[in-house]
Amino acid sequence: MVREGFWTEVFQLNGSVTPYVFGRLIGFTAFGAIIYALFQAFDLTNGLATAHYEYIGVVLALLLVLRTNAGYDRWWEARKIWGGIVNQSRNLAQIGLVYGPSDSDWRNSYARWVAAFSATCHHSLRGEQKFNEIQKMCEIVGTAETHRLSQAEHMPMYAIRRVADLLKEAVESGKLDRFYFLQAESERARLIDHIGGCERILRTPLASAFSIKIRRFLFLYLMFLPVAIVDAAGMATPLIVFLVAYPLLALDQIGVELENPFSKQRLNHLPLNQISETICGNLMASIEELPPVIPHNASP
Amino acid sequence: MVREGFWTEVFQLNGSVTPYVFGRLIGFTAFGAIIYALFQAFDLTNGLATAHYEYIGVVLALLLVLRTNAGYDRWWEARKIWGGIVNQSRNLAQIGLVYGPSDSDWRNSYARWVAAFSATCHHSLRGEQKFNEIQKMCEIVGTAETHRLSQAEHMPMYAIRRVADLLKEAVESGKLDRFYFLQAESERARLIDHIGGCERILRTPLASAFSIKIRRFLFLYLMFLPVAIVDAAGMATPLIVFLVAYPLLALDQIGVELENPFSKQRLNHLPLNQISETICGNLMASIEELPPVIPHNASP
Amino acid sequence: MVREGFWTEVFQLNGSVTPYVFGRLIGFTAFGAIIYALFQAFDLTNGLATAHYEYIGVVLALLLVLRTNAGYDRWWEARKIWGGIVNQSRNLAQIGLVYGPSDSDWRNSYARWVAAFSATCHHSLRGEQKFNEIQKMCEIVGTAETHRLSQAEHMPMYAIRRVADLLKEAVESGKLDRFYFLQAESERARLIDHIGGCERILRTPLASAFSIKIRRFLFLYLMFLPVAIVDAAGMATPLIVFLVAYPLLALDQIGVELENPFSKQRLNHLPLNQISETICGNLMASIEELPPVIPHNASP
Amino acid sequence: MVREGFWTEVFQLNGSVTPYVFGRLIGFTAFGAIIYALFQAFDLTNGLATAHYEYIGVVLALLLVLRTNAGYDRWWEARKIWGGIVNQSRNLAQIGLVYGPSDSDWRNSYARWVAAFSATCHHSLRGEQKFNEIQKMCEIVGTAETHRLSQAEHMPMYAIRRVADLLKEAVESGKLDRFYFLQAESERARLIDHIGGCERILRTPLASAFSIKIRRFLFLYLMFLPVAIVDAAGMATPLIVFLVAYPLLALDQIGVELENPFSKQRLNHLPLNQISETICGNLMASIEELPPVIPHNASP
Amino acid sequence: MVREGFWTEVFQLNGSVTPYVFGRLIGFTAFGAIIYALFQAFDLTNGLATAHYEYIGVVLALLLVLRTNAGYDRWWEARKIWGGIVNQSRNLAQIGLVYGPSDSDWRNSYARWVAAFSATCHHSLRGEQKFNEIQKMCEIVGTAETHRLSQAEHMPMYAIRRVADLLKEAVESGKLDRFYFLQAESERARLIDHIGGCERILRTPLASAFSIKIRRFLFLYLMFLPVAIVDAAGMATPLIVFLVAYPLLALDQIGVELENPFSKQRLNHLPLNQISETICGNLMASIEELPPVIPHNASP
């Protein structure tokens, strides 16, 4: 009934951050055990009231939740921008193919270069520009242009310029009305905004002072935790350290994973590959698909 | 005075997630009873201080509330986008019918295809594309076109392309001024954005690492809860477990229900059916309704 | 110095939700007294640790605050949209009256129909469409048109269509330049967005599973509260129940009041009446007010 | 290194809300002392568990923080809108002066009326419309027009209409290309949105049920506080009341101060005066400043 | 696997705010030690219940987190605006170079002035306008214009006006179609919005009453902390004061650091230098780079 069922998700390992934090978790738990052993061996008590310690824990939790939230917002913004790339690519192609020249060469090139834009965005955001990394582009724009792309200063800007060249050609040969052009150009401008938005997210991590600070607090907090609770918790010290450390370390790691939504090395990276291939497929199909005339008087 | 009265809502079952979480709730409560029985039978005490356990509970609650909030935001965003589909359909139709050709065939087709767009969005988001699933479309665009729709790569894009074809025809036959066209086209572009936005929400669940983590914490928390409180709570252990588990499990379930606002299987899915039928009705009516001339000097 | 002074607001009854929750409040307090009496009479103790009970209270409070926040956001969004109706009405009128035909009949009708739009929005959002309910419209557009409005399928769309008819007439008679028309049309499109936005807020309450859940938790929480605290609080049990229940019930009620910002039966409904009358007044005045020529060289 | 140093800000009185809440603070502290004295004199104990009292405190704090946040959002939105007035005024002036007629009378009037718009916004938002209150406008648009402004129904709409008159004149005399006009008109429309946005913030306080409720809770909470803690805190009762009441009362007051960002009587009102004078200065300067021809081949 | 590894970030000093708060931290810790010594020396106890003190701590933490959040939002908004400057500069340049005159002088000047805009924004936001401070501009627009810039009232407005002059020249000499111009002009208008947005963030600190209050509460809280805990914590008093004061003071400082995202003296200032140099580089390159004709029939 629900996504994969409650119990499935509880025990699912795939897609979890647990493996990433396992080492640290064991480390802190072991440290808790050592502290307990020391207190036991030398018969120590520290008489620490844990109330204020908890208070620090609340501040820390608030910070972690805040950072996770900020990370999620970045991730969702990135997804929105890629949604925009899909929308504007679809619309730009449709405007050109419906309102533009009927010349099949032009139509072919146009659809290919619109499709090429999202493909170059995808490669560019993953840092791939060498010819062998972007080889698949050959299927879209041919080998010669793929070589040029691999040497361009900025691949997506090169692709979108090609679209502009084609629009200009169509306008100046009188095959694309200037009013139609206005619409196409405004969609083209939004594509430039979208790739810029992705690059902003890619190149600007969370303010570093902010994120370093959180990790240092987390470390200090988990180091002092066994000392603070050993009197009251006794033998259960390592267990409690484990139960407290697990969500905190996991939250910290999730914040990190969400930070770069484009890198394949992150757990929740967006399926750029798949999205841009879908766009290509659709656009390629839309060149061929010539719809028949419309029956004006569609009687129900 | 208020929506349905305080007491009505308290006891209302319809629309509640309680049935969905009932099994889990009973399970955790029973586990609590077993733990109590074991401790009783073997006369155990564990001397666990529960303070830190509560702290984990606070972190968990923060996470659940955060996820519920994120789910609600998605749901509201989806509602906003459908609101946009209503607005842009209304306006696109009005622009065409007021400023466009007076030719009744054209007007008829135009209103039908604008109405068809929202109907195809509705079907497409619910994964219905077979002819028998979209049969109602016949009333809007006729059987022939409904067959074509059922084979289109992307139904809403097919419908909106029909609108573009009609606009082009009107412009090129000189019956729609290019300045009027600019307005219609900009509304049409927004419709493409709207369907893209819905698909983004449909295809991108919450970052999975995030949501799996929450369910695992929830599980761990509720498993250890009876152990942590059995000393202090005694016989009341299962009751407290029940009272704590109920809101947490329900919150978790609500987060899941809100995640996909389009599926009929979710509790709070949007009434897409109803919205798109209202649009159709309005647009159909607006073709006929030919308003009389306006009395310029409306004396009050 | 401050709005109405701290003390005035503390004791102010007008505009408060207290009367709405009074009954429930007394009920829960009385129940607290009964529980205390029973425990006293049978000399019971329950040995319940209240710590976890408080934790549930925190979750509940978070949820209530979240819902109040969501309600406030809706309310503020509705206010923003009405602000937009004011802005676009003003601007649409100004564009027509400054750039449009100098023909006084046209100007008169135009200003009246722009004013009529906000008036019909106001009536439509409050569910008033019978002739006697919208009688005031006669002063704006005359009796005949008011009758037609009362039979229109959608009053605001009827009014905005009248504006479109007038614009079309002006353009086609050559009295309104097409470039001026573009501006007017884009403001007109935004008015359609605004009424759609209001209808979205009006017709979509908060996700119901969400709000029902909160009331059920609230009920369970307040029922068990006296049991949980009676050991520790003794005679003060009803007082504490009162002090806890008051803010929670009031918050719940405020959330409900904020949900529908248009209904007159809600405490904080927006002054639609007043806003739309101000728009009408301004627009009517702006027809007459013919400003003299501008002295170009305004020496200071 | 930091703004004014940590210690300076700690002890700074200027710009603080402390003086506003001083009376109430003393009052509640004194009440705390009296309660302590009574309990001492009659040797009372109340045996109240303070745990649930704290819980109410948390709800109250959440509400206060929420309101402060809502207040800050309004304040920042108001600031953003004024930023928009600056942007659109700059751009509207530049479009007119670069692309518009070279006629110096027109340029002079145009720049003056664009400048006048922000000046009238400033006066209008502070409720100043009498001739002597807006006397400074004489320097911008001359005495005659200032008199007319003082009698206009809506000063900013009057000013922006003057700008429209000037644009129309330029277009119809053929000195301003229609394509340039489109840009100017779209900036002009945004100025109308901006003043509407300011008026919305000015005229719509926070939902009143919301804010009254908070003050009543605050009052109840601070009245019962000494009773709740007197057993445990003893002689320290007034001190603790003071320490708790100070941040709560201050937060409440800050929320009030942020609510109206335009009034000079509020602590953090925006420097409208200064902003609008800067705009005027810039625009005046930009009339004179005639830049020389541009050296096309700027060799580095 | 993660950004720089968990442990690296924990111990990293570079980019941390710790050095900024070190003095205060030592101060409060020492004060804690003194309090302990006094209580020890005179054998005092104060019998203070710390529960309510913690509650104040929670309020304080909420406020600090709220302010950090507000600071982060400003920082991210500033980053978004600079992202917009990149996008609009790229697009404005591409529109001019693809659709504009083929005249190489014009192209050269145009690309240079578009590049100059972001460079002047960067200087202007850092308060640099003297000739020697902006000397690098000579490489972009030549020495003569750099001198003029150093005397302009507003450098970015001067640069963007140059762009307007060039566009006007191209339009009026018939080398830039008016429809192309519309697109360029709308990008130019957005650049003016962007610099205005940066100036708004630069010149409007957080509402001062808000931020002063937080520091005063922080001070009061940390002063009374050792007194409140000395009974329970004994010898550990200074340690607990240290552990509590460190995150609070650091959070406070991070809030301050995030407040002005443009100043080089702040830890997390945006790399304006680098961004604007990248823009310049790209634009300069784009003048030369003349792409060859497009092979229309790109066979895969």
| pLDDT of C293 above 70 | no
The residue among D75, D65, D194 whose CA lies nearest residue D124 is D194
- Inspect the interface and report whether the beta carbons of C268 and D212 lie closer than 8 Å: no
| pLDDT of C300 above 50 | no
DSSP labels, E195-206: HHHHHHHHH-PS
Q: Which residue does chain D place closest to C228, by CA atoms? A: D52
Indicate left, alpha or beta for B37 from its phi (over 0: left) and psi (-120 to 50: alpha).
alpha
For residue C1, give how far its alpha carbon lies from the nearest alpha carbon of chain D (Å).
Answer: 8
| pLDDT of A64 above 70 | yes
For residue B36, give how far its alpha carbon lies from the nearest alpha carbon of chain A (Å).
Answer: 19
CB nearest A109 (choices: E64, E285, E298): E298
Q: Which 8-state DSSP code applies to residue B251? A: H
The residue among B54, B38, B12, B25 whose CA lies nearest residue B228 is B54
- Inspect the interface and report whether the beta carbons of E209 and D267 lie closer than 8 Å: yes
Confidence tier at D235 by pLDDT (50, 70, 90): confident
pLDDT value of position B22:
87
| pLDDT of A298 above 50 | no
pLDDT tens digits, one per residue of A177-194: 999 999 999 999 999 999
Looking at residues C194-203, what average pLDDT do you find?
92
Chain mean pLDDT for chain D: 83
Measured between beta carbons, the chain C residues lying within 8 angstroms of B266 are: none
Q: Mutation test of the interface with chain B: which of C20, C21, C62, C194, choosing the one with the most B Cβ atoms within 10 A?
A: C62
pLDDT tens digits, one per residue of D95-148: 999 898 988 889 889 999 999 999 999 999 998 999 988 988 888 888 888 998
CB nearest D229 (choices: E52, E109, E186): E52
Cα dist. B268→B71, B263, B272, C203, E37 in Å? 11, 9, 11, 14, 62
Looking at residues C46-66, what average pLDDT do you find?
71
Q: Mutation test of the interface with chain D: which of C1, C62, C73, C240, choosing the one with the most D Cβ atoms within 10 A?
A: C240
- SS3 letters across D85-103: HHHHHHHHHHHHHHHCCCC
CB nearest A256 (choices: E2, E17, E58): E2
Measured between beta carbons, the chain D residues lying within 8 angstroms of E154 are: 282
Cα dist. E56→A58, D213, E224 in Å? 13, 21, 11
Helix H or strand E segment including C111: helix C104-125
Provide the H-helix boundaries in A126-236: 138-151, 155-172, 178-203, 208-233
By CB atoms closer than 10 A (0-12, 13-18, 19+), residue B178 is middle
pLDDT value of position D102:
86
pLDDT tens digits, one per residue of E81-103: 999 999 999 999 999 998 989 88
* Residues D294 and E162 sit within 8 Å (Cβ to Cβ): yes
More confident residue, B180 or D10: B180
CA atoms within 13 A of residue C184's CA, in its CB half-sphere:
30
Q: Mutation test of the interface with chain C: which of D25, D59, D221, choosing the one with the most C Cβ atoms within 10 A?
A: D59
CB nearest D207 (choices: C50, C268, C294): C268
Query: What whole-number distance in Å separates Cα of residue D243 and Cα of residue E227?
Result: 13
* Residues D200 and C83 sit within 8 Å (Cβ to Cβ): yes
For residue E113, give how far its alpha carbon lies from the nearest alpha carbon of chain A (Å).
Answer: 20
Q: What are the two backbone dihedrals, phi and then psi, of residue A91, each rounded to the nearest 5 degrees?
A: -70, -40
pLDDT value of position A4:
56
Indicate left, alpha or beta for D23 from its phi (over 0: left) and psi (-120 to 50: alpha).
alpha
Q: What percent of chain D has pLDDT over 70?
A: 87
Query: What whole-number distance in Å separates Cα of residue B223 and Cα of residue B216?
Result: 11
Q: Mutation test of the interface with chain A: which of E21, E81, E243, E257, choosing the one with the most A Cβ atoms within 10 A?
A: E243
pLDDT tens digits, one per residue of E36-86: 898 888 877 665 555 566 677 777 887 887 788 888 888 889 999 999 999
Residue D32 structure tokens: 């705390």
Q: What are the two backbone dihedrals, phi and then psi, of residue A173, each rounded to the nearest 5 degrees?
A: -90, 5
Cα dist. C117→B287, C111, C192, D51, E59 in Å? 21, 10, 10, 56, 48
- Which residue reads 């035909």 in tokens? C101
pLDDT value of position D159:
92
Looking at residues C22-41, what average pLDDT do you find?
90
Measured between beta carbons, the chain C residues lying within 8 angstroms of D105 are: 296-297
Residue A10 structure tokens: 């509880």
Confidence tier at A40 by pLDDT (50, 70, 90): confident
pLDDT value of position E20:
82
Q: Which 8-state DSSP code applies to residue C127? A: T
Running along chain B, 300 residues long, what does each successive block of 10 average in pLDDT? 63 72 91 90 67 72 81 88 93 91 88 92 91 88 89 90 92 91 93 94 74 80 84 80 86 82 78 85 71 47
More confident residue, A4 or C184: C184
pLDDT value of position A299:
46
> Buried b / exposed e across D149-184, counting CB within 10 Å, b at 16+?
bbebebbbbbbbbbbbbbbbbbbeeeebbebbbbbb
Confidence tier at A123 by pLDDT (50, 70, 90): very high
Q: Which 8-state DSSP code applies to residue C261? A: S
- Inspect the interface and report whether the beta carbons of A213 and E246 lie closer than 8 Å: no
By CB atoms closer than 10 A (0-12, 13-18, 19+), residue B273 is middle
The residue among E52, C200, C127, E189 whose CA lies nearest residue D183 is E189
pLDDT value of position E300:
43
More confident residue, E154 or A14: E154
Residue A172 structure tokens: 């100046």
pLDDT value of position C288:
64
pLDDT value of position B102:
86
Sequence-distant (6+) residues with CB within 8 A of A87 are B192, B193, B196, B197
By CB atoms closer than 10 A (0-12, 13-18, 19+), residue E13 is exposed
Q: In this structure, what is the dihedral angle of CA atoms E118, E120, E123, E124, given to the nearest 10 degrees?
A: -110
Q: Which residue does chain B place closest to A85, by CA atoms? A: B196
Q: Which residue does chain C place closest to D227, by CA atoms? A: C236
Looking at residues C41-45, what average pLDDT do you find?
76
Query: What whole-number distance in Å separates Cα of residue A46 and Cα of residue D45?
Result: 33
pLDDT value of position B255:
80
pLDDT value of position C50:
57
Residue C228 structure tokens: 């949980």
Measured between beta carbons, the chain E residues lying within 8 angstroms of A224 are: 243
Measured between beta carbons, the chain A residues lying within 8 angstroms of B58 are: 58, 61
| pLDDT of A141 above 50 | yes
pLDDT value of position E280:
84
pLDDT value of position B8:
76
Q: Which residue does chain E place closest to D55, by CA atoms? A: E55
Query: What whole-number distance in Å separates Cα of residue C89 and Cα of residue C119?
Result: 11
Radius of gyration, alpha carbons of chain E: 28
Residue A150 structure tokens: 């691999």
pLDDT value of position E51:
57
- Whether ipTM > 0.85 holds is yes
> Buried b / exposed e across E137-159, counting CB within 10 Å, b at 16+?
bbbbbbeebbebbbebebbbbbb
Q: Which residue does chain B place closest to C154, by CA atoms? A: B282
Q: Which 8-state DSSP code applies to residue B269? A: -
Query: What whole-number distance in Å separates Cα of residue A149 and Cα of residue C49?
Result: 69
By CB atoms closer than 10 A (0-12, 13-18, 19+), residue E134 is buried
CA atoms within 13 A of residue D208's CA, in its CB half-sphere:
17
- Inspect the interface and report whether the beta carbons of B192 and A90 lie closer than 8 Å: yes
Looking at residues A196-225, what average pLDDT do you find?
81
Chain mean pLDDT for chain A: 83
Measured between beta carbons, the chain C residues lying within 8 angstroms of B89 are: none
Highest-confidence segment of B5-9, C139-143, E208-212: C139-143
Looking at residues C97-107, what average pLDDT do you find?
88
- Inspect the interface and report whether the beta carbons of B105 and A16 lie closer than 8 Å: no
Q: In this structure, what is the dihedral angle of CA atoms D6, D11, D14, D16, given to the nearest 10 degrees?
A: 90
Chain mean pLDDT for chain C: 83
Measured between beta carbons, the chain A residues lying within 8 angstroms of B153 are: 282, 285-286, 289
Three-class SS state of D262: coil
pLDDT value of position E78:
92
Distance separating the N- and C-terminal Cα atoms of chain A: 38
pLDDT value of position C96:
92
The residue among E222, E225, E243 whose CA lies nearest residue E48 is E225
For residue A150, give how far its alpha carbon lies from the nearest alpha carbon of chain B (Å).
Answer: 30
Q: Which residue does chain A place closest to E64, by CA atoms? A: A59
Query: What whole-number distance in Å separates Cα of residue C287 and Cα of residue C94?
Result: 9
Looking at residues A9-31, what average pLDDT do you find?
81
| AA identity, residue A20 | Y
| pLDDT of E183 above 80 | yes
The residue among E271, E236, D77 whose CA lies nearest residue A47 is E236
By CB atoms closer than 10 A (0-12, 13-18, 19+), residue D5 is exposed
* Residues D219 and D27 sit within 8 Å (Cβ to Cβ): no
Q: State CA E248 to chain mean position distance.
A: 23
User: How many CB pairs lie under 8 A apart between chains A and E?
Assistant: 193
- Inspect the interface and report whether the beta carbons of C182 and D182 lie closer than 8 Å: yes
* Residues A124 and A112 sit within 8 Å (Cβ to Cβ): no
More confident residue, C90 or D58: C90
pLDDT value of position A287:
72
Those chains having 3 or more beta-carbon pairs within 8 angstroms of chain C are B, D
Query: What whole-number distance in Å separates Cα of residue D118 and Cα of residue D271?
Result: 13
CA atoms within 13 A of residue E163's CA, in its CB half-sphere:
31
Q: Mutation test of the interface with chain B: which of A13, A98, A242, choosing the one with the most B Cβ atoms within 10 A?
A: A98
